[in-house]
């Protein structure tokens, strides 16, 4: 009798191999990984406006923007801040403006639906400051309704309670150029010339160009603003010319060789607007580099043209490396070696804006983007250090020295409360969010639980040390940040699932016995918010409404975060949420596509909570691979889980 051997297929191993193959196929020949960073349509709409203002619109495929904007309009007529949010007013006004600038008539059915949506939401008068600012540039809103930004702010010394270095890096790099634009208050003639009178719900003749009052202490800023406007009206603005000159010099000094400013589109757009206000020529090398940098952030297909708010090659590359190694790939695999050597070349050995408040630290960090000398960040640096530590490179001594420099820099960036922020040290004057100009509530960069957790995870994963009192301060900070339900807030990812996963991963590596109660509470919270399909999901609205913590349709990335957190908690305490982990793993395996990838429509990255969100197109790829890899390692090595 013949017997036929049955080959047992391990679905986990199959899913891992398929995911690895998919990601390997996407590596750039020079070593990095980089996927699209998606946001809402305002970025692209503002780029259209900028090219119209500079007269460079005919040299870019902006006609393809119309197809992109039409594809993003939803059934209700508006455009979204993030997927599934029901539409957002300011986003919709800017999309409508861009379509008009592209020659779409107000009688187009899409424009009619958009106009109805916008008017239902209150029209232009109810939009954010930055939307009104862009409209004012082409005469579709009056500068009187915008806050004043006196140029002499640029001259305030760093010892003064208010100065540009008390703003977050992104607010600073966007605000300094606006000191020039808000001083000049330009109104540009564009082709075609447009009006947006039809978007004023109260009628354009009834608009009150004034800043809204809050009825509390913050209204003092409106009184100050009235004083600034009076000074402007009588042309009594002390140190005006000196302030403008200082701002201009600051902008030019901070332009990268690639043309970028701050590595983010708002800083790049505003810097280009400042140069336009100062009369720079389109053929000026500074302007040409700036325009090229904007082009580099664009994504063009056969039908569409859109612009990313930022690019994430360092971040993506480090996470893909970690995913490969966590999922069983050899640490000296050629793809990992090439990526590791690329990352070593990207270490920033220049002093940046962080040095203004951190006078003791020495360079040695990484940034998010290809080029961003002035704004490296703690989160990227910690992830890169972990990726390089896990990899085996030909020059281990060089890797070690890079890691040592990075550790010293990160240690010097610890904030007074004990945690770490993203870009700056003790950048925490919350009252700045109350000024009229700061209506996105993103004027500061305080320490947060998720970034702090990443640093502590780096220390544990790489066997690194910082001064014991400083480590204790960091751990105390993290424990104090735990919410009543057991979760942690996620500043840079959506939201409590992200934050909780990160903190559990950190505490599991640093004295887990001491923090067992906090770890168990965090793990129990994650289990409590698992969806019926086995996955996890959390809506961006949890930033607006804390009752939505951990609630939302399942996504691959958020499911992976939950699994990563639960595995870490189990390894720390010996108490594995076996059923929850297995159901989550089954969700990932069952939702993987035939090419080895995952897809999620939802945005799970955070720019500014409540105001700006991101979809990292690789989040749905490398985090599931990490989760499956750690699960496979656990089931092979850990009998406590298997039994």
Q: Give me the active site residues, please.
A: 379
Distance CA 171, CA 165 (A): 10
Is the Cβ–Cβ distance between 617 and 603 less than 8 Å?
no
Write out the two tokens for 186: 């330009």
How far the first Cα of the chain sits from its last, in Å, is 37
Which residues is 427 bridged to in the sheet? 445
Which residues is 613 bridged to in the sheet? 606
Cβ neighbours of residue 3 under 8 Å, at least 6 residues apart?
none
The 3-state DSSP class for residue 259 equals coil
Distance CA 398, CA 376 (A): 20
Distance CA 82, CA 117 (A): 17
Which residues is 256 bridged to in the sheet? none
| Type and span of the H or E element at 72 | helix 63-72
Write out the two tokens for 404: 């040592």
Whether cis (ω within 30° of 0) applies to the bond prior to 186 is: no
Percent helix, strand and coil across the chain, each to the nearest 5: 55, 5, 40
Is the Cβ–Cβ distance between 496 and 542 less than 8 Å?
yes
Nearest to 562 by CA among 591, 598, 529: 529
CA distances from 595 to 19, 571, 621 (A): 8, 32, 11
DSSP assignment letter at 493: B
The 3-state secondary structure of 279-339, one letter per residue? CCCCCCHHHHHHHHHHHHCEEECCCCEEECCECCHHHHHHHHHHHHHHCCCCCCCHHHHHH
Nearest to 204 by CA among 148, 137, 145, 134: 145
Cβ-in-10-Å burial (0-12, 13-18, 19+) of 638 comes to middle
Chain CA centroid to CA 460, Å: 26
The 3-state DSSP class for residue 14 equals helix
Most distant pair of Cα atoms in the chain: their distance: 105
CA distances from 291 to 64, 389, 626 (A): 18, 38, 38
Measured N-to-C along each axis, helices 285-296 and 42-54 cross at an angle, to the nearest 10 degrees, of 150
399: left (phi over 0), alpha (psi -120 to 50) or beta: alpha
């Amino acid at each position: 009798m013949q017997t036929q051997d049955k080959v047992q297929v391990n679905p986990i191993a199959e899913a891992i191999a398929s995911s690895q193959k998919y990601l390997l196929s996407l590596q750039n020949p020079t070593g990095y990984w980089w996927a699209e960073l998606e946001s809402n349509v305002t970025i692209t709409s503002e780029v259209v406006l900028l090219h119209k203002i500079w007269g460079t619109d005919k040299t870019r495929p902006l006609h393809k923007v119309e197809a992109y904007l039409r594809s993003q309009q939803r059934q209700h007529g508006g455009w979204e801040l993030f997927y599934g949010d029901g539409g957002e007013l300011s986003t919709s006004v800017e999309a409508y403006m861009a379509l008009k600038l592209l020659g779409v008539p107000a009688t187009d059915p899409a424009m009619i639906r958009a106009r109805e949506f916008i008017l239902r939401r209150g029209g232009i008068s109810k939009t954010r400051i930055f939307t009104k600012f862009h409209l004012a540039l082409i005469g579709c809103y009056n500068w009187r309704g915008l806050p004043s930004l006196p140029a002499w702010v640029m001259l305030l010394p760093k010892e003064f309670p208010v100065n540009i270095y008390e703003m977050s890096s992104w607010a600073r790099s966007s605000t300094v150029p606006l000191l020039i634009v808000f001083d000049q208050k330009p109104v540009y003639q564009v082709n075609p010339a447009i009006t947006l009178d039809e978007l004023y719900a109260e009628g354009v003749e009834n608009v009150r160009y004034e800043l809204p009052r809050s009825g509390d202490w913050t209204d003092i800023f409106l009184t100050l603003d009235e004083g600034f406007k009076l000074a402007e009206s009588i042309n009594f603005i002390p140190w005006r010319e000196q302030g403008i000159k200082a701002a201009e010099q600051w902008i030019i000094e901070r332009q990268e060789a690639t043309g970028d400013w701050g590595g983010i589109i708002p800083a790049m757009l505003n810097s280009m607007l400042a140069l336009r206000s100062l009369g720079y020529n389109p053929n000026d090398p500074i302007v040409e580099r700036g325009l090229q940098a904007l082009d580099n952030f664009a994504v063009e297909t056969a039908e569409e043209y859109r612009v990313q708010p930022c690019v994430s090659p360092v971040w993506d590359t480090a996470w893909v490396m970690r995913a490969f190694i966590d999922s069983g790939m050899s640490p000296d695999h050629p793809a990992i070696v090439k990526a590791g050597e690329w990352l070593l070349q990207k270490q920033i050995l220049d002093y940046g804006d962080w040095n203004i408040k951190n006078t003791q630290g020495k360079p040695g960090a990484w940034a998010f983007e290809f080029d961003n000398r002035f704004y490296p960040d703690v989160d990227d640096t910690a992830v890169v250090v972990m990726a390089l530590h896990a990899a085996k490179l030909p020059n281990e001594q060089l890797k070690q020295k890079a890691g040592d420099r990075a550790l010293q820099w990160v240690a010097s960036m610890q904030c007074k409360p004990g945690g770490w922020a993203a870009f700056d040290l003790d950048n925490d004057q919350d009252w700045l969010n109350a000024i009229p100009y700061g209506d996105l509530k993103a004027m500061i960069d305080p320490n947060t639980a998720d970034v702090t957790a990443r640093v502590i995870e780096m220390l544990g994963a790489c066997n690194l040390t910082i001064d014991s009192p400083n480590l204790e301060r960091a751990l105390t900070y993290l424990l104090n940040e735990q919410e009543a339900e057991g979760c942690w807030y996620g500043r840079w990812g959506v939201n409590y699932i992200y934050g909780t996963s990160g903190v559990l991963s950190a505490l599991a590596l640093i004295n887990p016995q001491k923090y067992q109660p906090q770890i168990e509470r965090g793990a129990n919270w994650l289990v409590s918010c698992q969806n019926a399909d086995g996955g996890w999901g959390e809506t961006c609205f949890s930033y607006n409404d804390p009752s939505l913590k951990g609630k939302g349709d399942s996504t691959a990335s958020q499911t992976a975060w939950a699994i990563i957190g639960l595995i870490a908690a189990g390894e720390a305490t010996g108490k594995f949420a076996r059923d929850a982990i297995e159901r989550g793993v089954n969700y990932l395996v069952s939702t993987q596509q035939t090419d080895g990838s995952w897809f999620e429509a939802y945005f799970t990255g955070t720019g500014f909570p409540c105001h700006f969100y991101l979809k990292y197109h690789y989040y749905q790829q490398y985090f599931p691979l990490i989760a499956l890899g750690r699960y496979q390692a656990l089931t092979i090595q850990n009998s406590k889980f298997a039994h």
